[in-house]
Amino acid sequence: MSTADEIKAKIDIVGLVGETTPLKQSGRNFKAPCPFHSERTPSFFVNPERQSWHCFGACGTGGDIFSFVMRRDGVPFGDALRSLAERAGVTLAAPGASRQRAQQAERLKALHRDAAMFFHNTLLKDDEAAAARAYLEERGLSAETIETFRLGFCPSRISALSRSLSNQGYTDADLDAVGLVRRGEDGSTYSMFRGRLMVPILDERSDYIGFGARALDGAPAKYINSPQSVIFVKRSALYGIHRARETIREGGLAVIVEGYMDVLTAHQHGYRNVVASMGTALTEGQVATLTRLANRFVLALDPDDAGDEATLRSLESSWGIFDFRGKTTGAASIAGREGKAAPELRVMDLPAGKDPDQLIREDPEAWEHLLATATSVVDYVFDAVVRRSDVATIQGKTAITRRLAPLIHNAPSVIEQNNRIQKLANLIDVRENIVKGEVEGVAAPGAGRRRGRARVGADSIFSEATGDPLEEYCLTSLLRYPELWPEAAALEPEHFLTTPHREIFQRLALGVPPEELKEHLDEAYHDDLDSLLSRGLDMVPHWEREQGVQECVKRLQRRRITLEQEAVQAQLEEGEVSLDELSSRAEQLKAELSRIDRQSQN
C-alpha cells in the first residue's frame, strides 16, 4: 500500500468535500453545484464507494481526494499529500526520501566504477595478477579490449581494495553493502572476489552496476556475480549492451550469446552488435530492451543439450513463441509498438564443441557464414521439439503436434500455415490432414480457455491491489511491459480516478519511457510509482498480460460511462435538466457501453 492509498483509506471523501460544498444524497451518490465553476443545475457528483468525484458539467473532470484539494486550494500534489496526511494522522517519509534513494543509487554506481578502476590497475601492474594476464593472453584478448572493457583482477589481500576505496571516501560498510567484501563467522572481513578475473557489468547508459568474476584456480563456481541490489538485477542486465547499443540500433540486428568471453572476442573482431545473457535463458526484461533497439535477432548459444534447452526455454518464456496470440496480435505484442514489423528470430547452428568465442577466434569467416545462414526460429523449434520427443508412438506424435500447434496457428498467412503443417507431417510421418485437424482442435478450445484464464490471471493480480485494483494492474502492466501499450491506446487520463495514477499514465501517454519517469514526475509521486513497479507480473504468461490489459481497458471505460449514467439518472429523477437532453445523453451512454461490450467479444 502506498502512502497515498493509506491516506485515502482514512479520509471519507464525502466529509472532505462537504466541508466546502453542501452535498445532497442522490441514490448511491452525493451531488452539488460544481464548486469549480458557476452553474445552476448540479453536475458535481461524489461517489463514496469509489471515493471519487466528477463534474459532468463545464469542468468535465474528476478524481480523488487529492485532486479535489489540489483544485480547491490551487496547490500541487505534494502540498495536498502533506495536508491530507496530517488530517489522516499518517506520517510521511522524510522530505527528499526519493531523492536520497536516487543519490544512493548514484553513489553505488560510482563505487562500482571506482572499484572497477582499482581492479583494472591491479590487473595491469600487480604481480599477483600474472595468472589473470596469462589467461587473457591465452584467450587472445588484446590490450585494447582489456582497456575498453575495463577488465580487472581482485587481489587476495583485502587491505589493498579497502585502502584504495577508503581514500576515495568509501567505507567498509559501503563495500559490504554491494557485496565487494564479506564477513566470516569470526567477524573477519575478506574480499568476495579474491583471486578472480573481474568483468565489470555496465547498463545501457554506461553506468557501472555490478561485476562478473571468473575463477582462475579451478574453483567449482567458475563464475560468480555481484549480489542483487538497487542497481544490479542480473535477469534484466545484458553484458556488453553499453558498447553494442548504437551498432544494434543502426544495423537493426542483435546477436545474443551466453558468456562474457563470447562478447569480448566478438567485439574485438569487429562484431559490435553482440550482447550476452550471462549464462541464462533470456528474460522478458532483456527481450524488451533488445526489441526497443532492433527488429532482427540471432541466438548463438552453446551447441549442447543444455544450450538447446536454454534456447527453447527462452523462446517459450521470453519471446512467446508458443503463445496463442492470433495472426495479427502476436507480432505487435513482441515488437512493442503498433504497426512495427514482427521481430525476425533466427538461431545459429554452431559446430559441435565450439562456442562463439572459439569459433570467432579460429575462423571468423565461418562465424559470418553461420550468422548469415542462421536457422529460422520455426525450423529450429520444429527440429528441436521433434528431436527431444518420442516420434515412434502415437502419444509422442500427439504431444509434439500439440506443443507446436501455436506456432502453426500463428503463421502470418494461410500459405505459411500450410507449409508448417506439411513440415511437421513429414517430421513425424503423419498425414497432413491429421496434423491440421489436431492443430485446429487444440487452437479452437484453447482460445476459449485462454480468455477465461486471462481474466483469472488479471483478477488474481487485482485481488492483490490495495488501492484501485483496475488502475494498478493496468499501470503495472504498462510500466513493466511497454510493448503492451497498443492495448491501452483507447484510454485517456480521465479514466484514472487516482491522482498519482493519472499523472503516471499521462507521462506514459506522452512517450516517456518507464525508466525515465522519475525524471518527469514530481517527487511526491515517486512513492506511488515505486509501489506499482514493485508489483509482480513475471509469472503471468504473455497472453494473460495482453488479455489482462484489454480487460482493464474495458472495465475502466465501463466505469467512466457508469459514473455518468448514474449522474444522468439522478438528474432525470429530479427533473433538473431538459428531459429530452438527458434522455438523448442516456441513449448515447447506453450505445457506448454496447460498443465496448461488442469490441471485447471480437
Q: Does residue 58 contact residue 34 with C-beta atoms inside 8 Å?
A: yes
Domain regions of the chain by residue span: 3-88, 109-230, 241-388, 458-601
Q: First and final CA of the chain: distance in angstroms?
A: 36
| Ranges assigned E (strand) in 104-237 | 152-153, 181-183, 189-191, 196-202, 208-215, 223-225
Locate all alpha helices (DSSP H) within 273-376, ordered by sequence. 284-291, 305-317, 329-335, 356-362, 364-372
User: pLDDT, tens digit, for every residue of 399-433?
Assistant: 899 888 888 887 878 888 899 999 999 999 999 98
- The three cell numbers of residue 5 are 492509498
By the 8 A CB rule, do 31 and 62 touch? no
pLDDT of residue 468: 79
Q: Could you give the CA distance from residue 238 to residue 256 in angstroms, rounded to a whole number?
A: 9
> Please, where are the H alpha helices in 212-276?
241-251, 260-268
CB proximity list for 200: less than 8 A, separation 6 or greater = 112, 116, 119, 149, 150, 151, 152, 208, 210, 211
Phi, psi at 288, each rounded to 5°: -60, -40
Identify the H or E element spanning 8. helix 3-10
CA distance 476 to 490: 17
Q: How far is CA 545 from CA 336, 406, 457, 548, in A?
A: 13, 17, 8, 5
Q: Which residues of the chain have pLDDT under 50?
A: 325-340, 445-466, 539
What the block records as the C-alpha cell of 254 is: 542483435
Q: Residue 308: its pLDDT value, please? A: 66
Is it true that domain 3-88 has CATH number 3.30.1360.120? no
Give the pLDDT of residue 572.
66
| Residue 322: predicted pLDDT | 67
Q: How many CA atoms lie within 13 A of 195 on its CB side?
A: 9
Q: Using an 8 Å Cβ cutoff, are 63 and 502 in contact?
A: yes
- For position 141, what pLDDT does the model report? 97
CATH 1.10.860 correct for 458-601: yes
pLDDT digits (tens, 9 = 90+) for 232-260: 888 789 999 999 999 998 999 999 998 99
Distance CA 48, CA 79 (A): 23
* C-alpha to C-alpha distance for 424 and 417, rounded to whole angstroms: 11
Give residue 333's pLDDT: 33
Query: What pLDDT was estimated at residue 454?
Result: 35
State the pLDDT at residue 102.
72
* Paired strand residues for 152: 198
Task: Just give the CATH number of 109-230.
Answer: 3.90.980.10
- Of 542, 465, 472, nearest to 505 by C-alpha is 472
The model's pTM: 0.63
Strands 253-257 and 208-215: unpaired
Report the pLDDT value the prediction gives residue 558, as an integer from 0 to 100. 85
User: Using a CB cutoff of 8 Å and minimum separation of 24, what contacts does 399-404 make?
Assistant: 400/424, 400/427, 400/428, 401/428, 401/430, 401/435, 401/438, 401/439, 401/442, 402/438, 402/442, 403/322
pLDDT at 564: 78
Integer Cα distance of 558 and 560 in angstroms: 5
Q: b/e map of 65-101 (b: 16 or more CB within 10 Å)?
A: bbbbbbbbeeeebeebbebbbeebebeeeeeeebeee
Cα angle, residue 252 at apex, residues 251 and 254 outer, rounded to 5° = 95
Domain 241-388: which CATH number of 3.40.1360.10, 3.30.230.10, 3.30.465.10, 3.60.15.10: 3.40.1360.10
- Which burial class, exposed, middle or buried, applies to 601 when counting CB atoms under 10 A from its CB (0-12, 13-18, 19+)? exposed
How many Å apart are CA 326 and CA 66, to the nearest integer? 42
Cell of 199: 568483468
d(CA 248, CA 397): 40
- Write down the pLDDT at residue 330: 33
Write phi, then psi, for 10 (nearest 5 degrees).
Answer: -105, -5
In angstroms, rounded to a whole number, what is the distance separating the alpha carbons of residues 483 and 466?
25
